Structure 1
Amino acid sequence: MNLNHTHTGANVSGQTATSRAAFFNRLSGLTLAISLAYPITAIAEQESVNAQGESAVISSQSKQQEQAGGDIMVVTATRESKLRSELAESVSVQDKQEIEAVSPSHPAELLNRVAGVHINNLGGEGHMTSIRQPISTSGVYLFLEDGVPTRPTGFFNHNGLYEVNIPQAQRVEVTKGPGSALYGSDAIGGVINSVTQASPDEPSGRINLEGGSHGWKRGLFSGGTDINQDHGVSFQLNLTDSDGYRDESAYQRYSMTGRLDGYLSATTQYKLVAAYTDVDQSGVSSLEEDDYKNNPKKNKYHGDIGKRDVGAFRLTGEIATELSDVELLTFTPFYRHNNTEMMPSWMVTYDPNIRKTQFQSFGLLSKYRYDLTQGEIIAGVDIDHTISDYVEKQITVTKVGDIYTDYAETGRTHYDYDADQTSISPYLHGEWLPHDDWRLVAGLRYDYFRIDYSDNLDPSVPEREGRKAWLRPDSQTLNFNHLSPKLGAVYSYSGAQQVYANYRNAFRIPSIGQLFRSGSTVNTTDLKPVESDSFEIGFRGELSNSFDYDVTLYHMLVKNKVVSYIDGGDRKTTNAGKTEHQGIELSLFGEFNRQWSMNAAFTYSQQTYDEYQYIFSCYPPACVPPVVETRNYAGYDVGKAPDTIGNLAFQYQPDYVQGLALELEWEHLGEYYTDETNTSKYDGHDLLNFRLNYDITPDITVRGRIMNLADTRYSTYTSNQVGNPNISYRPGAPRSFYLGLDAKF
């Protein structure tokens, strides 16, 4: 069994200027190469989509160009189907055919095939995301279903993709970097949009039954039919049960999606989507180095320790009416209801508690499009009203050796508050075609948020017990606002080649938890939005009739990041952190011949602290006497930010065995520092995966896969607290086998 581990070493104070210069030298060379020859990268697939399946209406300009054939349709940018060649941004699309062939048991298995994207597996349905940002729990990503945020602003969950039924999606689109003017807070690192399956034109269905290692069992059921000439219905059901690949790490999942599509008149289309997911997941602990190397199945959380129970319901409608040949009016009302009850696993050792978060959202996305002779204008307003409550109770935990086995409530409630949030966000998006080869894009969005917070605990409840504190802000109303400009351009040349560039400003407001679950921090309600400025230039097109490519260079500055510091005896936070993120993303897809094909994705990035304060805490025996002070890590590399991410897959479909498709996939994650001090480093890892799909008949397919073929020991997340030399690891799954039968009718 191979081992990946960390090593320690001193940080070189002058490294940033040197490494940054080296980085730009590399980019200069790459840019020169791109300008002299077609680059070697591409997108994930080449299938155009049914307009009704993705959005009510295809934009008129896209209709005119759709006859060109091989271009890909994208729906995220404007919530309408547009040709990817019209977009001044880096977007990847994974279609239904790829999703079925990959048969992902976790979103990481699908999304990690995209350049610039890394999703980790935290030991069940959970995950963290890294798109132009470090691997973290930060709310810098926007998760969508059919273009509608799955959660309201301020309620980001880094595990949020487990609330979406990705294995049964029609397609998944990833916008890397900030979103367009149609999207507001959180769309900094990227936007992931899962598109539901439209109703079919005739009765049809699919059943996929799968079993595998570690007690894995899954059933995927889907079907649909036309009701009459104008209406149709479809449904998907996902039942998943697993014992988990570590001790006491079982989880279950139930997801259901129903969709109704149709025409109300010759000029009005509609869709109605209901989606529900329930996730019941055991807690999974990190391990220190000795257990990671010698007993990776070990889990320090048994029973209900670290548990998580999530219920997420969403109801979304869409009505699109063509007011004239050049006007389209779209209304998208939505409703969300979410319950999460959990014992935060990262707090079990120092502040154990159980908490329940509940929210309901009522919203409306309204959009008006007017087609110009050479362009279009889109104006809209997004409204979201969310009612939420949060309750956190103190518990004590029972520990046998180093295993946590049980818990009991103490009777103390740390927090009980309501936070009702209203957001109103008008925006304007315009596109102009000054010439057949040019497309200019500009957008402007204004977001306003009002949060009414009410502390429901009696003032007599103490906020401190000894050295521990659970400070509670006074009941109050907070307001946030932000103006986000967007600019872009696309130039088409030599037929199917494009150069695109953009500047985009993005932001995220502080989360409800950051503002009102203050812990030991005295001024959390003073926080302001985090902002980012992103610059991007890209090249995409066809190398030949068989290969497509996409190369993107980006530079992003994130400012007003939340940092902590010590003021006298108080712990405080402020918006003073700055980080810099830059890199190059390359992707390639194509066929060598009728039997062999490949897709490749590679990313090189450099992420540094420009200005970043952090509270350094170090206690005996590591530090005698103990040290608690504010430090600044300006010039250091951002922790948990891999320098390279790669994915390479070769597919083989032999002529001599009709219906057989084999794939060998290589996954690469580069090294990264495990904390802000740059003294410890995870070396990264490389994994091999194998997939087999065999069509017994046109409607019956056997699907098998072996994940982590070489049985490599690796960690999906490696970190340490600043001042603590002990590194924690999240062991990845060992070699795992899966076999399933897929039947269509």
Structure 2
Amino acid sequence: MKRIIKATLAILCVSVSVSIAQQNVSGIIVDKQTKEPIPGVNIVIKGEAKGTITDLMGAFQLQVPIDQEISISYLGYETLQMKATADFDQVELAQSSVELNQVVISASRDAQMRSETPVAISSLSAQQIEEAKATSTDQLLNKTPGVYMVDLGNEQHSMAIRQPLSYKSLFLYLEDGVPVRTTGVFNHNALIEMNMASFKNIEVIRGPASSLYGSEAIGGAVNFITLNPTSTLLAKASVQANNLGYKRGDLMFSDTYGKVGVVASTNYATRVDGYRDHSDYEKFALTLKATVELSEKALWSNSMTYVNYRSDAAGSLDSASFYGQEYSSFQTFTDRDVEALRYKSALDYYWDRGSKSSATFFYRSNSVKQNPSYRIKDDYSPWANPGGDENLAHSEVNDNSFNSYGLILQHKEVLNFWNSSMTTGASLDYSPSSYLANYISVHKTDAGVYDGFTPSDSVLTNYETDLINYAGYAQLELNPVAKLHVTAAVRFDRFTYVYDNHLPSNAYSGAPDETNHFNAFTPKVGLNYSISQRSGMYANFSQGFVPPQVSELYRGVKVPTLDPAVFTNYEVGGWFALLNNKASIDVAVYQLNGKDEIINVQQPSGDYANENAGETVHRGVEYGFNYKPISDLYIRLSGTNAQHEFKDYVESGVDFSNNEMATAPSWIANGEITYRPSFVRGLRVGIEWQHMDEYYTDAANTSTYEGFDIFHVRIGYEFKGFETWLNIMNVGDKIYATNVTKSAWGTNYQPGDPRTFNVGLAYKFQK
């Protein structure tokens, strides 16, 4: 009996001593830059196999021996080791400047390791976005491998991803995984409808992504991921201005109240009396988001973005004006007026074993009103109308609007074999749209300036189109053997265009009422092989498609018979850690074949009509290199070397087969060196280089533009919540054009901005 009592007392003593030596540690892990909670962070007791991960709100609890250290790690972030204390509260993790793409969202609509993603994908981090102090989105995206976004002034733009500098509907723009615009009404200027103050990070998928996102994701899909609520109070305000008449102010507020988190971000920008005549603009943008933690497994998120934008449309310059630096405008009245509203409500439920279900409802309201310079056509033409009035031109004012009502359902199920999972989804997008255009007569001076117009009640175009797209998709991911990851995906889309014309058959747009259907079946197969945790290789085969645009079908007197254009992509690539993880490189080699592209083909009668007749081939290599030789210095280089050719292409009666495509430079590159001296805390100095090679300016390959090299310098300093910066863009004051095209009327130059001094001041308050 005494032995039993002694043994019991000994056990109790040991238990008490162990309990005394343990402490309950809890806290929240957040991103150092954005202060957002990070779910799924690993917290491990040093020297033991015991640990935990953070929940949906970045919180954790763990029993830790007193005075013991813990390791906090997450892919893409610097690992942090520190002594655990009972009042742990909030810990910040800094993103790694070398390993920028370790976790991505856009490749499967859900957080996923880069090593399991057989596509070329890259990401701009919150730190890169914050330090760029960009005044237009191209200043961000052009840092990305394989991407060149063309600056057309006042945030207007076109794009080049595995394509020439293009205005075509070959790129898909998303906000938090939902397309910004509906299929069939593509706008190459769609990114003026984004709120730059709301960007947390930007992910770019290069190559077709139609197996997941549907149409238009051909050259690439760009996903703008917006700010989430912070775990504690954070407020920021900033103002900036430059010597070209640009001014902008930004505000951001974020906090969490119990289970509810909120974030609001807004900015107002204006340009008055810039270096070009007729180039003023004004933009207001607001994004609101609220998240509710319904339970440990359920998260409900609601967000809204509103953008109101108006800009003069100065048009391009001829060669004499461009090289003579005569930055006047041939138009004095052309403009663009955009109003866009987007709302999204998403419910995510996390099941056991990593399975997840989500339901997303979205609504869009969009109106683009224009008096466009590109619609102005002279009455006089030496070859078409030699007897025309040289002081008269013809144009239109128009309004293209749509509303969208959509639903996306998705479920990911973790399976019981080969560490596999299956993702299935369905989507519905119903978007009634309308187009109204009225004729205007334009007066042209003897000096060639379009100085005024006379409105009329003559209606050129007046129709409505109900656009209906429903789709289903599935993606299977397998790990049949160690280090090998297999992905197979397929999507089916069904489109219905219900066209209702309000004009008679003899009108400019007099096509009869009609209902058109389009089907598309898009597969993807990919392999990933992990060499190590930070290095791997992949290969993929994928297809993408583009249905006809509404304007390609109904802007005429009859409806052509058109099918979706199809693009097939073959690709291999890899990502590798180098020099003891101080450097990383990401490489992709691809061939993209386009077939049944819609072009304007001359008929036997001499008339022209849209047909599926074009074939193109695009080959290239894309690369991104990041290097941090010492803690103070960061070096980045990204670029693409590519060849874009017409394979079988006869447009408007002219055969361009085997020619190089116009506006298709063979080399585009962007490099950057950033220095953060440790002896001056808060200071950063960076220099950026943008290169574009020579390219043909016409499809006939008769003329070229020499390309350019420009440099930007960025200097910033942070001190006790304050930040000030100076960006000197085009520091060498280079005369260059962001886009040059040649037509029968001559060569048109879109001028790049001269040397620009942009200064700013910001203040950040955080609890």
Q: Is the 8 A contact 1:510 1:527 kept in 2?
A: yes
Could you list the per-position Cα deviations for residues 386-427 of structure 1 after superposition, in whole angstroms to 9, with x for gaps in the alignment? 011110110011233322222221221001000001111000
**2:732 is the counterpart of 1:704:** no
Gaps of 5+ in 2: 1-31, 42-54, 58-71, 78-98, 379-393
Q: CA deviation at 1:600?
A: 0.4
Which residue does 1:13 correspond to in 2?
A: none
Q: CA deviation at 1:672?
A: 1.1
| Equivalent of 1:611 in 648, 652, 655 | 648
Evaluate the alpha carbon distance shift between residue 386 and residue 51 of structure 1 in structure 2; reply closer, same or farther with a 3 A threshold: farther
Evaluate the alpha carbon distance shift between residue 53 and residue 299 of structure 1 in structure 2; reply closer, same or farther with a 3 A threshold: farther
Q: Secondary structure at 1:513's aligned position in 2?
A: helix
Which residue does 1:557 correspond to in 2?
A: 593
| Equivalent of 1:498 in 536, 539, 551 | 536
Greater C-alpha radius of gyration: 2
| Equivalent of 1:423 in 442, 465, 469 | 469
TM-score after normalising by structure 2:
0.84
Q: What letter corresponds to residue 407 of structure 2 in structure 1?
A: L
Q: Is the 8 A contact 2:36 2:231 kept in 1?
A: no
**2:767 is the counterpart of 1:744:** no
| Equivalent of 1:638 in 648, 661, 667 | 661
Q: CA deviation at 1:327?
A: 3.1
Q: Secondary structure at 1:337's aligned position in 2?
A: strand
Q: Is the 8 A contact 1:490 1:501 kept in 2?
A: yes
Which residue does 1:729 correspond to in 2?
A: 749
Which residue does 2:13 correspond to in 1?
A: none
Q: Secondary structure at 2:251's aligned position in 1?
A: strand
| Equivalent of 1:526 in 561, 573, 577 | 561
Which residue does 1:96 correspond to in 2?
A: 126
Could you list the per-position Cα deviations for residues 276-311 of structure 1 after superposition, in whole angstroms to 9, with x for gaps in the alignment? 111100012111111111134211121xx2200000
Report the Cα distance in structure 1 between the residues aligned to 2:645 and 2:284, rounded to whole angstroms. Answer: 40
| Equivalent of 1:372 in 389, 403, 415 | 415
Which residue does 1:358 correspond to in 2?
A: 401
Could you list the per-position Cα deviations for residues 558-606 of structure 1 after superposition, in whole angstroms to 9, with x for gaps in the alignment? 1101122222132122101000000001111121212221110121000
How does 1:265-280 map onto structure 2 within 5 Å?
A: 265-280=295-310
Report the Cα distance in structure 2 between the residues aligned to 1:643 and 1:502, rounded to whole angstroms. Answer: 23
**2:343 is the counterpart of 1:315:** yes
Report the Cα distance in structure 1 between the residues aligned to 2:602 and 2:118, rounded to whole angstroms. Answer: 44
**2:381 is the counterpart of 1:335:** no
Q: Is the 8 A contact 2:539 2:571 kept in 1?
A: yes
Report the Cα distance in structure 1 between the residues aligned to 2:177 and 2:489, rounded to whole angstroms. Answer: 18
Which residue does 2:577 correspond to in 1?
A: 542
User: Mean Cα displacement is larger for which, 216-225 or 586-595?
Assistant: 586-595
Report the Cα distance in structure 1 between the residues aligned to 2:680 and 2:541, rounded to whole angstroms. Answer: 50
Report the Cα distance in structure 2 between the residues aligned to 1:730 and 1:53, rounded to whole angstroms. Answer: 47
**2:495 is the counterpart of 1:449:** yes
Q: CA deviation at 1:494?
A: 3.8
Q: What letter corresponds to residue 425 of structure 2 in structure 1?
A: G
Which residue does 1:3 correspond to in 2?
A: none
TM-score after normalising by structure 1:
0.86
Could you list the per-position Cα deviations for residues 230-262 of structure 1 after superposition, in whole angstroms to 9, with x for gaps in the alignment? 111000001001124311200011000000012
Q: Secondary structure at 1:187's aligned position in 2?
A: coil
Which residue does 2:372 correspond to in 1?
A: 344
Report the Cα distance in structure 1 between the residues aligned to 2:35 and 2:263, rounded to whole angstroms. Answer: 21
Q: CA deviation at 1:167?
A: 4.2
Could you list the per-position Cα deviations for residues 465-490 of structure 1 after superposition, in whole angstroms to 9, with x for gaps in the alignment? xxxxx242100100000000101010
Report the Cα distance in structure 2 between the residues aligned to 1:356 and 1:293, rounded to whole angstroms. Answer: 35
Q: Is the 8 A contact 1:289 1:727 kept in 2?
A: yes
Evaluate the alpha carbon distance shift between residue 280 and residue 390 of structure 1 in structure 2; reply closer, same or farther with a 3 A threshold: same
Q: CA deviation at 1:322?
A: 2.6
Q: What letter corresponds to residue 311 of structure 1 in structure 2?
A: E
Evaluate the alpha carbon distance shift between residue 78 and residue 577 of structure 1 in structure 2; reply closer, same or farther with a 3 A threshold: same
Which residue does 2:516 correspond to in 1?
A: 478
- Percent of aligned pairs with the same residue? 29
**2:459 is the counterpart of 1:389:** no
Report the Cα distance in structure 1 between the residues aligned to 2:478 and 2:40, rounded to whole angstroms. Answer: 27
Q: Secondary structure at 1:245's aligned position in 2?
A: coil
Q: CA deviation at 1:324?
A: 3.8
| Equivalent of 2:682 in 659, 673, 677 | 659
How does 1:103-142 map onto structure 2 within 5 Å?
A: 103-142=133-172
Report the Cα distance in structure 2 between the residues aligned to 1:274 and 1:713, rounded to whole angstroms. Answer: 40
Evaluate the alpha carbon distance shift between residue 357 and residue 180 of structure 1 in structure 2; reply closer, same or farther with a 3 A threshold: closer
Q: CA deviation at 1:187?
A: 0.3
Which residue does 2:45 correspond to in 1?
A: none
Report the Cα distance in structure 2 between the residues aligned to 1:67 and 1:655, rounded to whole angstroms. Answer: 25
Which residue does 1:8 correspond to in 2?
A: none
Evaluate the alpha carbon distance shift between residue 52 and residue 523 of structure 1 in structure 2; reply closer, same or farther with a 3 A threshold: farther
Q: What letter corresponds to residue 726 of structure 2 in structure 1?
A: G
Could you list the per-position Cα deviations for residues 104-163 of structure 1 after superposition, in whole angstroms to 9, with x for gaps in the alignment? 111111110111100111121200000000112100000000000000111111011111
Q: Is the 8 A contact 1:668 1:685 kept in 2?
A: yes
Greater RCO, CA 8 A, separation 6+: 1
Q: Secondary structure at 2:610's aligned position in 1?
A: strand
Number of residue equivalences: 663
Q: Is the 8 A contact 1:452 1:478 kept in 2?
A: yes
Which residue does 1:690 correspond to in 2?
A: 713
